[in-house]
Amino acid sequence: MEPSLATSIGKMQLDKPAMLASGILGISLDVFNRLYRSGAGAVVTKSLSSEPWEGYPNPTIFSVNGGGWMNAVGLSNPGASNFAKMIEPNQDVPIIVSLVGSIPKDFEMMINEFKNCNVTAFELNLSCPHVAKVGLEVGDDPELVKKIVTTVKNSTTAPVIAKVGLGTTNYLNTVKTAIDSGIDAITAINTVRAMAIDVETQRPILSNKYGGLSGTPIKPIALRCVYEISSKYDIPIIGCGGISTWEDAIEFFLAGASAIQLGSAIGDNWINVFDDINKGVLQYMKQKNYSTIQEMVGLAKKF
């Protein structure tokens, strides 16, 4: 029997395990459709706010020597209300809407904007490392995380995912608070707070000075976090951070993730990367005699 790439993240079912991570390729439904046809199991939107945000002035992104990217785009987006009008009620692409805000009321309002839309799940951005009063500042506040998760869970029947990152406190506290508050799954991790300086101009390269590091440099960190969360809590996990090959995907499954998200890898091979990973995972499953992805999830914890 041919192995199946289908996977589940709680009650969310996907035909394929690799998704587009939030923040990549904007909010174009045409691009989302192209990625889905090329093998993505779902797409996560850019993080949407209660009102449109312009973001930071350029420069906002650059490639890092040795691989990876650094960005401080500033969560630019058209706002939840404007994006909700773009979603077609009968679209085929599983869309996970990423939301960012600073108070529970922001999230409640945004959830209501999507009540008549075909949304697969909501992902709460509790981990953006370079925008004040949202993201990591929210994720580092357990009481606020509890209020936000509780508010969102009471506002929708769709699965709710918390995206966590490395802030100034132990990220596992954020994970525990989200789980205790009823979260359905965890995405780990977001970009890692970083910076770079131009030696000629002698000034920070990014206009915001600080940004988020993504891509291959953070993969070992992300993998460690998935392993830690999986070892400590019984919660579905989506692995994110530096994944670009089928081998990377397998590592995250073995560490405890049931699905993965791709971000920086899209910049190198955005049309073929999902198909390449799917084919590699299938071949690995055949060689190891696995019929489902779930058979691999967390196997590395045995050692």
Would you list which residues are annotated within the binding site for FMN? 22, 46-47, 125, 163, 189, 215, 241-242, 263-264
Q: What is 104-140 written as a DSSP string?
A: HHHHHHHHHHTTTS--SEEEEE---SSSTTSTHHHHT
Backbone angles phi, psi at 71, to 5 degrees: -140, 150
285 inside domain: yes
Determine, yes or no, domain membership for 200.
Answer: no
For residue 291, the enclosing domain spans 7-50+78-189+215-302
Contact call for residues 86 and 27 (beta carbons, < 8 A): yes
- The rounded distance, in Å, linking the Cα atoms of 192 and 279 is 30
Q: Is residue 206 part of a domain?
A: no
- pLDDT reported for residue 169: 87
Is 249 part of a structural domain of the chain?
A: yes
Q: Which pLDDT score, from 0 to 100, does residue 65 have?
A: 85
Task: Give domain status of residue 266, yes or no.
Answer: yes
**DSSP per-residue codes, 10-45:** TTEEESSSEEEPTTSSTT-HHHHHHHHHTT-SEEEP
Supply the CATH number for residue 291's domain: 3.20.20.70
Residue corresponding to tokens 């991570």: 21
Rounded Cα gap, residues 195 and 97, in angstroms? 28
Question: What was the pLDDT predicted at 75?
Answer: 86
Residue 223 lies in a domain: yes
- The domain total for the chain is 1
Q: What does the pLDDT read at residue 1?
A: 78
Closest CA to 238 of 163, 136, 158, 156: 163
Examine residue 122 and state whether it is found in any structural domain, yes or no.
Answer: yes
Name residues whose C-beta falls within 8 Å of residue 28's C-beta, 6 or more positions apart in sequence: none
Q: Please report, in range form, the residues annotated as the binding site.
A: 22, 46-47, 71-75, 125, 163, 189-191, 215, 241-242, 263-264
Per-residue pLDDT of the chain (303 residues; tens, 9 = 90+): 799 999 999 999 999 999 999 988 778 888 899 999 999 999 999 999 999 999 899 999 988 887 889 989 988 999 999 999 988 777 889 999 999 999 999 999 999 999 989 999 999 999 888 787 787 888 889 999 999 999 999 999 999 999 999 988 899 999 999 999 999 999 999 999 999 999 999 999 999 999 999 999 999 999 999 999 999 999 999 999 999 999 999 999 999 999 999 998 987 777 799 999 999 999 999 999 999 999 999 999 988
Supply the pLDDT for residue 103.
92
> The whole model's pTM is what?
0.96
Known binding residues for substrate are 46, 71-75, 125, 190-191
Angle between helix 273-288 and helix 246-255 axes, rounded to 10 deg: 60
- CA torsion sign for 22, 27, 30, 31 is negative
Q: What is the token pair recorded at 262? A: 């791709």
CA distances for 55 relative to 45, 48, 64, angstroms = 16, 12, 21
Evaluate whether residue 202 is within a structural domain: no
C-alpha span between 8 and 94 (Å, rounded)? 13
Comparing C-alpha atoms, which of 49, 116, 35, 98 is closest to residue 238? 98
Tell me which of 117, 128, 225, 240 is the catalytic residue. 128
Q: Residue 110 is encoded by which pair of tokens?
A: 């945004």
User: 128 catalytic, yes or no?
Assistant: yes
